[in-house]
Structure 1
Amino acid sequence: MPDAPIRPTSATSPAPDSLPSPSQRPLPTGPAPAEAAFPIDDTVGAWVPHGRFVRAGAPGGPLAGLRFAAKDLFDVAGRVTGAGNPTWLDTHAAASADSPLVAALSAAGATLAGKVLTDELAFSLHGANAHYGTPLNVRAPDRVPGGSSSGSASAVAAGLVDVALATDTGGSTRVPASYCGLWGLRTTHGRLSSDGLVPLCPSFDTPTWMADDAAAFARVADVLLGADAPNGASAWQPRRVLRLDDAWALADDAFQAPLARTLATLAAQLGAPIEATRAAGDGADDTLDAWRRAFVTASSHEAWSVHGDWIERHQPRFGDAIAARWDVARRVGAGEAESARGRIAAIRARVRAMLGGDAVAVLPSAATAAPRRDDDAPTVDAIRMRTQAITCIAGIAGLPQVSLPWPRPDGPPIGVSLLGPAGSDRTLIALAIRLRDALG
C-alpha cells in the first residue's frame, strides 16, 4: 500500500542530552491556560493544536513531580478527542469525563501536559499524519518516530514529558519505543480499561505508556497495574528463556548481537536454560507472515465494523496510506474474517501453551531501526510487513511485551523485547529493568 506523505517539522531540535529534564522546567498549575500560554516549547511537533493545555494532578500522590501527555485517543474531560483526523475532531463533542488511565495518573499526582499526535485513528505504524505532520525523532532526526503513538514517543524522547499514554493494537507502542530508544510495552489484553479511548480493534487494542527513564516507567506501572498476583497467589517466576528463532530471523543484522547478549544475560540472571524454538511452524501456511496476514484480515474487518458507518457518513479525508487501509478494510468479507478469527484463536492457544506459566521469550521489538523520513512507499511498506510479523505474536496471543531501549552510538536506536504470560505485566517490567541494569 502507498504510504502517507511526510511533512517536515522544524529543521533543528536540541540533542536529547542538552534538554533539561521535565522536572527542571516547572509548569503552572490550575485551570487549563489559553493556547498562547502553553508553557512547553514544542520543538518536535508532538502536540496537536487542540491539545495545548496543562492540568495539575492531585497534590502529594505517588506520581507527584511527573509530567505526562496523553495520545489524542484518550478522553480528557471538557476536551474533544481528535483521533488524528480533523473530521473526527469536528464531528465529536467534548468528553464528559477523563478516561480511566488519565484519571488514575492525575489522581496519583502527575501533571497532564496536554494531548499529543496519533496517526489517523491509530491505523499505522509509521508516524506520519497528513494533517498535522510528522513529529521529530530527536534520537534519529532523519528518521520517523514510528506510530501510531508518534507524538507520545516524540515528546518523551525529547524530554518534554516524563511519560506519555499510548495505545498498542498491532505494535503502536512497541514500534515507536524501539525507533526512539524508549521503554514501552503492550499490556495483557483486557488488563487495563479501554473506556474513554477511541478504539481501532477492541479485540486487540491495549492502553499503554512510554517513558525514557526506567524509574518513571515503573512508577506508572505501580499505579496502573498494581500487583500481578492479587489475593495472595504466587507471582510469575520464569524458569525457561525462549529464543524465538523465526522472529529473530525477521530482524536486521543490527539486532542480532543485542538479542544474543540479552538472551545470555537474562538466562544467567534467572539461572534458567535457553530453549531455541519457533513461534510459528515450518510449513508455508504456518509462518509468522501468515500469522500477520490473519491478524490484518481480522483486525481490518473489525476496524471497519467499528468505524465504517462514521466513514461512510462523513467522508473524511485521510492520508494516502490510511485511506488505502480503510479501502482494504471495507472489502474484507464476513467469511474471510471468520476464517481469520478461527486461525487467530488457534495461534493464540499455541503461543500461550509455548510460554506456559514459567517461560519468558526474547524477541526484537521491530524488524528494523526507524525508516528514513524520505524512504519511498515500497520500502516503508516492506518494513511495516516485516515488523508486523513480529509484533503480531503478542497481539494475537493477547500477551504482555516490554520493549527495552538499546541505544547505539554508531546508529539509530533499536529495541529488544521480553514476552511473558498473560497477567505477568508488572513482574515482566521489573524483570526487564533488572536486565537492562545488568546489560549496562
Structure 2
Amino acid sequence: MLLAIEAWELAEPPVRVRLVKDVTSMAKTCVDSDWAVIAPEGLAAWMRAFRIVQGLEIWDTHGPWIERAHPVFAPDIAERFAWASKLKRKDSGAELRLWFDVRARLREQLGDDGLLVIPTVPGPAPQRNVSGAANEERRSRAMQLTCIAGLAGLPQVHIPTGAADGAPIGLSVIAGPGRDLQLLSWVAEWAKQRPAGIRQAAWGAAAER
C-alpha cells in the first residue's frame, strides 16, 4: 500500500486526521505500506495535463456534432466547450508527454499487487450555496486528486468513511492496470471489518448537507 505524499498534503487537517484512522486499518490488511512521492512535477501539473488531454478528447468526440447541430448549453458548459475547441495537439506536446510518462510511471509503481491510497477530495462535501471564486478554488484542489487515476488510466474506488465538520468525507483506493475486480474484492473484504455506524454517519452527513 502506497500513500501519496502530495495527495495527503492537499487534505485539510480535520479530514487528514479522520482519514488516517481508516488508513491504519487498511495497512493491517497489506503486506507492507509506505509513503511515496508519485508526482515530482506536482499534482497541479498533473491536473493541467489532464485538463488538456481531456479537452482534446472531448472536442475530438463532440466537436463535429456541436458545430453541426449548434446545441444550447448552460453558460459554464458552453464556455468549456469553447475552450476545448481552441486546443491543438501540436501546441500540447508537453502535456501529452507528461500524460504518457505518468501512465508508465504509476503503473510501474503499483505493478500487479500495489494499492495507492489517497483522500478522495481535500475537504468535506461543500455547502449547496458555495459558488464563485470559492467554488472554483475547491474544484481546482479537488481535481488535483481526482485526476490521478484518470490520467494514469487506472481503476479507482471511492469509500465513504465518515464525516468531518458535519459533512461526508472518504478515501480512494487506486490499483494497477486491469486490476478492477481484485480492487473491488479487496475493498469489499476490508469494508466488512468496519463498524456499520461509520457508514451510517457518512450517509447521514450527506443527507443533511
TM range (shorter): 0.7 to 0.9
Aligned to 2:14: 254
Judge conservation of contact 1:403–1:415 (CA < 8 Å) in 2. yes
Aligned to 1:436: 191
CA distance in 2, matches of 1:276, 1:299: 29
Residue 126 of structure 2 is aligned to residue 371 of structure 1? yes
CA distance in 2, matches of 1:409, 1:322: 31
Judge conservation of contact 2:124–2:163 (CA < 8 Å) in 1. no
Judge conservation of contact 1:294–1:344 (CA < 8 Å) in 2. yes
CA distance in 1, matches of 2:47, 2:88: 18
CA distance in 2, matches of 1:358, 1:409: 31
- Kindly indicate which of the two structures has a greater share of residues assigned to helix: 2
CA distance in 1, matches of 2:17, 2:97: 37
Q: Deviations over 1:373-422 (max 9, x none)?
A: 22122111111111111111110111111111123285111121111111
CA distance in 2, matches of 1:273, 1:258: 22
CA distance in 1, matches of 2:103, 2:20: 26
Written as runs of structure 1 = structure 2, the 5 A alignment for 1:333-348 is: 333-348=88-103
Aligned residue pairs: how many? 195
Aligned to 1:427: 182
Written as runs of structure 1 = structure 2, the 5 A alignment for 1:108-187 is: none
Judge conservation of contact 2:2–2:33 (CA < 8 Å) in 1. yes
Aligned-pair Cα RMSD in Å: 1.7
Aligned partner letter, 1:308 = G
* CA apart distance, 1:432: 1.2
CA distance in 2, matches of 1:322, 1:371: 20
* CA apart distance, 1:280: 0.2
* CA apart distance, 1:339: 3.5
Which of these residues, 12, 36, 52, is aligned with residue 277 of structure 1? Answer: 36
Q: Deviations over 1:65-119 (max 9, x none)?
A: xxxxxxxxxxxxxxxxxxxxxxxxxxxxxxxxxxxxxxxxxxxxxxxxxxxxxxx
Q: Closer, same or farther in 2 for the Cα pair 1:292/1:253, shift >3 Å? A: same
Which of these residues, 359, 362, 371, is aligned with residue 117 of structure 2? Answer: 362
Q: Closer, same or farther in 2 for the Cα pair 1:253/1:320, shift >3 Å? A: farther
CA distance in 1, matches of 2:106, 2:164: 35
Q: Closer, same or farther in 2 for the Cα pair 1:324/1:339, shift >3 Å? A: same
SS in 1 for 2:123: coil
Give the alignment's TM-score, normalised by structure 1. Answer: 0.42
Aligned partner letter, 1:342 = R
Written as runs of structure 1 = structure 2, the 5 A alignment for 1:21-36 is: none
CA distance in 2, matches of 1:370, 1:401: 19
Q: Which has the larger radius of gyration?
A: 1
Residue 118 of structure 2 is aligned to residue 387 of structure 1? no
Aligned to 1:350: 105
Q: Deviations over 1:330-364 (max 9, x none)?
A: 11122123432222001110111111223212101
Q: Closer, same or farther in 2 for the Cα pair 1:410/1:290, shift >3 Å? A: closer
* CA apart distance, 1:427: 1.6
Residue 78 of structure 2 is aligned to residue 319 of structure 1? no
Q: Closer, same or farther in 2 for the Cα pair 1:334/1:406, shift >3 Å? A: same
SS in 2 for 1:413: strand
Judge conservation of contact 1:244–1:279 (CA < 8 Å) in 2. yes
Aligned partner letter, 2:21 = R
Judge conservation of contact 1:297–1:332 (CA < 8 Å) in 2. yes
Aligned partner letter, 1:254 = P
CA distance in 1, matches of 2:90, 2:80: 19
Judge conservation of contact 1:301–1:337 (CA < 8 Å) in 2. no
Judge conservation of contact 1:259–1:362 (CA < 8 Å) in 2. no
Written as runs of structure 1 = structure 2, the 5 A alignment for 1:302-317 is: 302-317=57-72
Q: Closer, same or farther in 2 for the Cα pair 1:302/1:410, shift >3 Å? A: closer
CA distance in 2, matches of 1:349, 1:334: 20
Judge conservation of contact 2:107–2:176 (CA < 8 Å) in 1. yes
Aligned partner letter, 2:38 = A
CA distance in 2, matches of 1:409, 1:291: 27
CA distance in 1, matches of 2:11, 2:18: 11
Give 4+ residue runs of structure 1 displaced > 3 Å after superposition.
none
Aligned to 1:92: none
Q: Which runs of 5+ in 1 are unaligned?
A: 1-240
Instruction: Give aligned-pair identity as a percent.
Output: 32
Aligned to 2:87: 332
Aligned partner letter, 2:74 = G
SS in 2 for 1:408: strand
Q: Closer, same or farther in 2 for the Cα pair 1:409/1:370, shift >3 Å? A: closer
